[in-house]
Amino acid sequence: MASSDFALFMGQLFRKPHQVVALAPSSAGLCAEMVAELDPDGGPVIELGAGTGNITRAILDAGIAPENCHSIEMNPEFCDHLRDRFPGLNVYQMSAGECGDLPVENVQAIISGLPLLSMPTQLQRDILTGFTQKVAPGGQYVQFTYGPKPSVTKAVRDELNLSWRRSGKIWWNMPPARVYRFSHGEHV
């Protein structure tokens, strides 16, 4: 990660701590786990809370073409940075709660760097409802978390019939994290 990316991240963390909600950008190990099940031929991907683009970089390195990656980020400084860093990437400056409105269908996965568990339940519901609208059969909502509980609150999991599995702990991250993969209906 370039030192200018790190400086941008820390500057925005200082100005907007309630939006960024992380001590540091995601590590290489966490990014690798987030994209581990992407298929280069599996269709488009939506990314939520792209920040300075560490997970975006991993999505593209997994073989997803920039025009097949749709990255939502609400912070305008991060959006400008993403457009400079990744020519051809679809960058949307908007709330992740509106992901159901994106002009893309049948996505293979939504990869989320959002601080989801610190968000209000209604916003979580809007985001995961968007997932159920946009995802292809068998597709995943991929979300890391630092704590011991699943990274989508139980009320929303139950309402939307979401099943999940989780990775081992990724220690080489600040703080250590796990990746949860949620599916809609019977697929996990």
Ligand X SMILES: C[S@@+](CC[C@H](N)C(=O)[O-])C[C@H]1O[C@@H](n2cnc3c(N)ncnc32)[C@H](O)[C@@H]1O
Which residues lie near ligand X (CB under 6 A)? 19-22, 25-26, 49-51, 54-55, 72-75, 78, 95-97, 113-115
State in angstroms the smallest separation of the CB of 137 from ligand X: 26
State in angstroms the smallest separation of the CB of 78 from ligand X: 5
Compute the distance between CA of residue 58 and CA of residue 89 in angstroms, rounded to an integer: 13
State in angstroms the smallest separation of the CB of 24 from ligand X: 8
CB–CB of 130/97 below 8 Å? yes
Q: Which is nearer to ligand X, 119 or 136 (CB)?
A: 119
What stretches of the chain show up as alpha helix (H) in DSSP? 3-15, 17-20, 28-34, 54-61, 76-85, 121-134, 154-159
Query: ∠ CA(57), CA(140), CA(150), 5° rounding?
Result: 95
Compute the distance between CA of residue 23 and CA of residue 56 in angstroms, rounded to an integer: 18
Q: Which is nearer to ligand X, 23 or 155 (CB)?
A: 23
Q: Which is nearer to ligand X, 36 or 188 (CB)?
A: 36
Q: Which is nearer to ligand X, 9 or 182 (CB)?
A: 9
Q: C-alpha 75: how far from its chain's center?
A: 15
State in angstroms the smallest separation of the CB of 66 from ligand X: 16
